Structure 1
Amino acid sequence: MASFTPSGRLKREHHRQQFIETQITRLLEGAGGFDITAITGDASFRLYFRVQAAHAKFILMDVPPEKGTISEFVHLNDVFSEGGLLVPEVLAFDNELGFVLLEDLGATHLADLVESEHREAHYLTLLSWLPKIAKLPASEWMREYDLAFILQEMDIFRSWLLEKWLDYSFDEEEVARWQHLTQSLAGCMLTQPQVVMHRDFHSRNVMFQQEKGRLIDYQDAVVGPICYDAVSLLKDCYVKLPADELERLKKISYQQLSDNGLLEGINYDQYIDYFNLTGLQRHLKAAGIFVRLYLRDGKPGYLPNILPTLDYIVEAANAYTDYQWLATWLQSEIMPMVQDKLAESL
């Protein structure tokens, strides 16, 4: 395991240089010089660098061994690729050092193409990936999205956004409501067919190169509710689709999953209930994570996404009598406090 001492960091830096030189020389049969530049914007502990050689570019993923492992990424890269999904090619890796050398897919994400005339065509292609992901074989590297996992994620909202950021504490009535909310949303998610899900299938995790989409950031894939990836894509925290387009695409997501035998006995109305309530859980978690990235990791760039994410929650909660209190509470108490905090922070 790498040391936290300066000498340990220098040693690892030397090994990185050695790893890159060796692998690029192997790939290009003598690459000559190369430059390395950091790529910013990732929400995880993983570091990414673009390696520019004379006639080729690569991506270096750097996972400090004291923070994580590359094993799941390398293994799941094979799982997704063998399942017919387009993913970056792994060119070389070193488990001990925590380095993966990948092909460079460029810098164009789906998020960069949402204003293009081909947007809906891109979404239709990605919806056709839903059954491919769902039908992947479960792997030892995939956790189950079980009750404990769901409740742990729900607590991110309460702990980070409410308590740590807004200094907000529940009274007794709110504690009871929150407990009922978490249990009912968990029940909804566990009742659905359980399949492999990417877990972060959204506009910043699909790269486009020569008009062809490629999936990234799949190392956190889990086995969980069938609706989850459709929610991630269509009610994206970074991109809000027009209402009419969203409705069309939701129907197509249902059809894709149904035609592939993944929604047996589930009609469209039931699917939409699953979709909406799964979205409530996902968006509560996401809003909490955006705050955690700011407070714990010093990454304020995700703060502007909090209010649009809370808007999704209000919209979904208002559609159900049992959850209208959540919409009212967010709009009347929490969102004004968030706006005040954002004014201070941004």
Structure 2
Amino acid sequence: MRNINELNKDLKVLLEEEFKDKVPVTIDKIISLKGDASYRSYYRIFDDKSQTFVLMKWNPELTNKSEEATKNIKIGEFPFINISNYLRSINIAVPAILYSNVNKGIILLEDLGDITLEKRFNLTKDLRLYEKAIQLLAFLKSQALKFPDENCIAFHRKFDYDLYMWEFDHFIEYGIEARNDITLSEEDKNVLRNHFDIISRRLDAISSVFTHRDYQSRNLMIKDERIFIIDFQDALLSTPVYDIVALLRDSYIEFDEKVITELLKIYHSELKKYNIFINVNELFTLFHLQTIQRKLKDGGRFIFIDKVKKNASFLPYVSTSFRYAASAMKKFNEFNELYKTLNKYVKEFE
């Protein structure tokens, strides 16, 4: 097997040919960056003037493929570029695209550094960082409501009943069956799917807004004390709480209930500033309902990434995800049967 230095040398040759007469960058060094669970790879490029850039590289055959379940939407533009252009147009900070050739699977980006919200918060424990992230999220919702754009793919795909049920089935397959190496009985599977059907229909009935889909601490970068959003290529329309659930029920940073309550109240107040009115009690109820869906999906997805993609790095966050879902489910008496059934197979539902 060839080592990473040899592979990066080949990449350097490829990029020098690609950038020739197009990008005023003389490549000095390339280092691999820790990526996510997607098909994309990331590299930091150093030029001869000590400037740095980030390269996103992927198999061009996967150009329009989302790593998350979505319905097929025909578009003429790579989703990352399409949504980046939209976000920049409504004054949301995202990394600048310096060069792209999607036919070769190449996008050269502004380097935002390595400081994520997760890293900064773990160093400082300063909740004002989360207040800023919430303020940015409310501003994003407001701007998207004011300036919808039919040319942006996010406005043509929606987190609907079918997608919710697909994610619940994904949880059953990996969060229960693959995790425990069992086949679920038809009786218990029907109990789960009947309750998941109810949750999916309730969520699908909520008015939808522009949604990042993974607005969490590793996708918020801090540069010059400003928050930049990354990993937005799967954006779509979903409930007003989907992103705040992703942020406050983040699998990587745990908050107690008191902190969650205070931060949710801040989100409610920030939305109100932009004339987005949601009854505070309804907001909390919807937050908990969405938490059940999102965190069962997350836990199952982390196991899928291990079993199918052979990447075990997300396994430490499985229990956190399922504990969040269990805690939220306890707030709904109508899901007692669902909780008891999950208790048979998911140890976090004790």
Are the structure 2 counterparts of residues 25 and 49 from structure 1 closer, same or farther at C-alpha, using a change threshold of 3 Å?
farther
Establish whether residue 276 from structure 1 lines up as the match of residue 271 from structure 2. no
Give me the whole-angstrom Cα distance separating, in 1, the residues matched to 2:20 and 2:125.
36
1:125 is matched by which residue type in structure 2?
K
Q: Is the 8 A contact 1:284 1:310 kept in 2?
A: yes
User: Equivalent of 1:23, from 16, 19, 24?
Assistant: 19
Tell me the equivalent position of 1:41.
35
User: Equivalent of 2:175, from 161, 167, 177?
Assistant: 161
Q: Is the 8 A contact 2:100 2:106 kept in 1?
A: yes
2:58 is matched by which residue type in structure 1?
V
Q: Superposition pairs for residues 285-304 of structure 1, below 5 Å?
A: 285-304=297-316
Q: Is the 8 A contact 2:25 2:47 kept in 1?
A: no
Give me the whole-angstrom Cα distance separating, in 2, the residues matched to 1:276 and 1:248.
15
Number of residue-to-residue matches in the alignment: 322
The TM-score, its normalising length taken from structure 2, stands at: 0.85
Establish whether residue 256 from structure 1 lines up as the match of residue 251 from structure 2. no
Which secondary structure does the structure 1 equivalent of 2:31 belong to? strand
Are the structure 2 counterparts of residues 199 and 20 from structure 1 closer, same or farther at C-alpha, using a change threshold of 3 Å?
farther
Give me the whole-angstrom Cα distance separating, in 2, the residues matched to 1:233 and 1:25.
42
Q: Greater CA deviation, 293-302 or 318-327?
A: 318-327
Q: Is the 8 A contact 1:228 1:278 kept in 2?
A: yes
Are the structure 2 counterparts of residues 270 and 30 from structure 1 closer, same or farther at C-alpha, using a change threshold of 3 Å?
closer
Q: Superposition pairs for residues 123-162 of structure 1, below 5 Å?
A: 123-134=130-141, 135-136=143-144, 137-138=148-149, 139-142=151-154, 143-162=157-176
Give me the whole-angstrom Cα distance separating, in 1, the residues matched to 2:95 and 2:162.
32
1:92 deviates by 0.2
The TM-score, its normalising length taken from structure 1, stands at: 0.86
Tell me the equivalent position of 1:177.
191
1:224 deviates by 1.1
Q: Is the 8 A contact 2:63 2:78 kept in 1?
A: no
Give me the whole-angstrom Cα distance separating, in 2, the residues matched to 1:98 and 1:242.
42
Q: Is the 8 A contact 1:94 1:100 kept in 2?
A: yes
Establish whether residue 65 from structure 1 lines up as the match of residue 72 from structure 2. no
Tell me the equivalent position of 1:341.
none
Tell me the equivalent position of 1:82.
89
Q: Superposition pairs for residues 229-268 of structure 1, below 5 Å?
A: 229-263=243-277, 266-268=278-280
Instruction: Output one character per residue of 1:46-73: Cα deviation in whole Å (capped at 9) or x when no partner.
Output: 1111111222111110120122348110
Q: Is the 8 A contact 2:115 2:221 kept in 1?
A: yes
User: Equivalent of 2:335, from 323, 326, 329?
Assistant: 323
The root-mean-square deviation of aligned C-alpha atoms, in Å, is: 2.4
Give aligned-pair identity as a percent: 25
Which secondary structure does the structure 2 equivalent of 1:218 belong to? coil
Q: Is the 8 A contact 1:314 1:326 kept in 2?
A: no
Q: Greater CA deviation, 89-98 or 63-72?
A: 63-72
Give me the whole-angstrom Cα distance separating, in 1, the residues matched to 2:263 and 2:136.
13
Tell me the equivalent position of 1:112.
119
Give me the whole-angstrom Cα distance separating, in 2, the residues matched to 1:75 and 1:127.
24
Instruction: Output one character per residue of 1:84-105: Cα deviation in whole Å (capped at 9) or x when no partner.
Output: 1111000000021111000111
1:290 deviates by 0.1
Give me the whole-angstrom Cα distance separating, in 2, the residues matched to 1:16 and 1:154.
43
Q: Greater CA deviation, 185-194 or 42-51?
A: 185-194
Give me the whole-angstrom Cα distance separating, in 2, the residues matched to 1:24 and 1:273.
55
Q: Greater CA deviation, 84-93 or 164-173?
A: 164-173
1:157 deviates by 0.4
2:34 is matched by which residue type in structure 1?
T
1:256 is matched by which residue type in structure 2?
E
Are the structure 2 counterparts of residues 90 and 248 from structure 1 closer, same or farther at C-alpha, using a change threshold of 3 Å?
same
Q: Is the 8 A contact 1:314 1:330 kept in 2?
A: no
1:310 is matched by which residue type in structure 2?
F
Q: Is the 8 A contact 1:71 1:95 kept in 2?
A: yes
Give me the whole-angstrom Cα distance separating, in 2, the residues matched to 1:170 and 1:321.
24
Tell me the equivalent position of 1:203.
217
Where in structure 2 are there 5+ consecutive unaligned residues? 1-5, 65-76
1:116 deviates by 4.1
Give me the whole-angstrom Cα distance separating, in 1, the residues matched to 2:20 and 2:216.
31
1:227 deviates by 0.7
Are the structure 2 counterparts of residues 325 and 20 from structure 1 closer, same or farther at C-alpha, using a change threshold of 3 Å?
farther
1:165 is matched by which residue type in structure 2?
R
Give me the whole-angstrom Cα distance separating, in 1, the residues matched to 2:16 and 2:117.
29
Tell me the equivalent position of 1:343.
none
Q: Is the 8 A contact 2:192 2:338 kept in 1?
A: no
1:274 is matched by which residue type in structure 2?
L
2:53 is matched by which residue type in structure 1?
F
